[in-house]
Amino acid sequence: MKAFVYKGPGKKALEDRPVPDVKAPTDATVKIIKTTICGTDLHILKGDVPTCTPGRILGHEGVGIVEKTGPGVTAFHQGDHVLISCISACGKCEYCRRGMYSHCTTGGWILGNTIDGTQAEYVRIPHADTSLYPIPPGADEEALVMLSDILPTGFECGVLNGRVEPGATVAIVGAGPIGLAALLTAQFYSPAEIIMIDLDDNRLEVARRFGATQTVNSKDGKAAEKVKALTAGRGADTAIEAVGLPATFLLCEELVAPGGIIANVGVHGTKVDLHLERLWSENIAITTRLVDTVTTPMLLKTVQSKKIDPKLLITHRFKLDKILDAYETFGHAASTGALKVIIEA
Stretch that binds Zn ion, among 45-53, 82-90, 208-216, 333-341 (CB under 5 A): 82-90
Stretch that binds Zn ion, among 99-107, 115-123, 169-177, 261-269 (CB under 5 A): 99-107
Q: How far apart are CA 231 and CA 160, in angstroms?
A: 22
Q: What's the sign of the alpha-carbon dihedral 5, 91, 145, 238?
A: negative
Helix, strand, or coil (residue 121): coil
Select 67 or 129, whichever has its Cβ closest to Zn ion. 129
Select 279 or 290, whichever has its Cβ closest to Zn ion. 290
- According to CB under 5 A, which one of 45, 57, 96, 100 is a site residue for Zn ion? 96
The size of the chain, in residues, is 345
- According to CB under 5 A, which one of 49, 90, 157, 326 is a site residue for Zn ion? 90
- According to CB under 5 A, which one of 35, 40, 169, 187 is a site residue for Zn ion? 40
Residues in contact with Zn ion, shown as a per-residue x/- string from 132 to 151 under the rule CB under 5 A: -----------------x--
- Does residue 26 belong to the site contacting Zn ion (CB under 5 A)? no
Q: How far apart are CA 164 and CA 237, in angstroms?
A: 8
Stretch that binds Zn ion, among 38-46, 181-189, 233-241, 259-267 (CB under 5 A): 38-46
Q: Tell me the DSSP string of 69-105.
A: E-TT--S--TT-EEEEPSSB--S-SHHHHTT-GGG-T
* Interface of this chain with Zn ion, residues 190 to 249, rule: CB under 5 A: none
Q: How far apart are CA 145 and CA 135, in angstroms?
A: 11
Provide the strand spans (E) within 7-98. 12-16, 28-36, 56-57, 62-69, 81-84
- Does residue 38 belong to the site contacting Zn ion (CB under 5 A)? yes
Minimum CB separation of residue 309 from Zn ion in Å reads: 20
Select 206 or 265, whichever has its Cβ closest to Zn ion. 265
Minimum CB separation of residue 37 from Zn ion in Å reads: 9
Residue 14's CB: how many other CB atoms inside 10 A? Answer: 15
- Does residue 93 belong to the site contacting Zn ion (CB under 5 A)? yes
Q: What is the DSSP letter of 102?
A: G
Residues in contact with Zn ion, shown as a per-residue x/- string from 104 to 123 under the rule CB under 5 A: x-------------------
Count, residues near Zn ion per rule CB under 5 A: 7
Helix, strand, or coil (residue 11): coil
* Planar angle of CA 290, 293, 295, nearest 5 degrees: 125
Select 249 or 330, whichever has its Cβ closest to Zn ion. 330
Minimum CB separation of residue 136 from Zn ion in Å reads: 23
Select 104 or 204, whichever has its Cβ closest to Zn ion. 104
Minimum CB separation of residue 299 from Zn ion in Å reads: 15
Minimum CB separation of residue 16 from Zn ion in Å reads: 25
* Interface of this chain with Zn ion, residues 168 to 197, rule: CB under 5 A: none
Select 184 or 261, whichever has its Cβ closest to Zn ion. 184
Select 38 or 223, whichever has its Cβ closest to Zn ion. 38
Q: How far apart are CA 311 and CA 314, in angstroms?
A: 5
Helix, strand, or coil (residue 62): strand
Minimum CB separation of residue 94 from Zn ion in Å reads: 8
Q: Tell me the DSSP string of 242-274.
A: -S-SHHHHHHHHHHEEEEEEEEE-S--SS----
Helical axes 223-230 vs 246-255, angle rounded to 10°: 30
Q: How far apart are CA 193 and CA 268, in angstroms?
A: 27
Select 19 or 245, whichever has its Cβ closest to Zn ion. 245
Contact call for residues 246 and 264 (beta carbons, < 8 A) = no
Nearest Cα neighbor of 174 from 52, 265, 299, 285 is 265
Sites of contact with Zn ion (CB under 5 A): 38, 40, 90, 93, 96, 104, 149
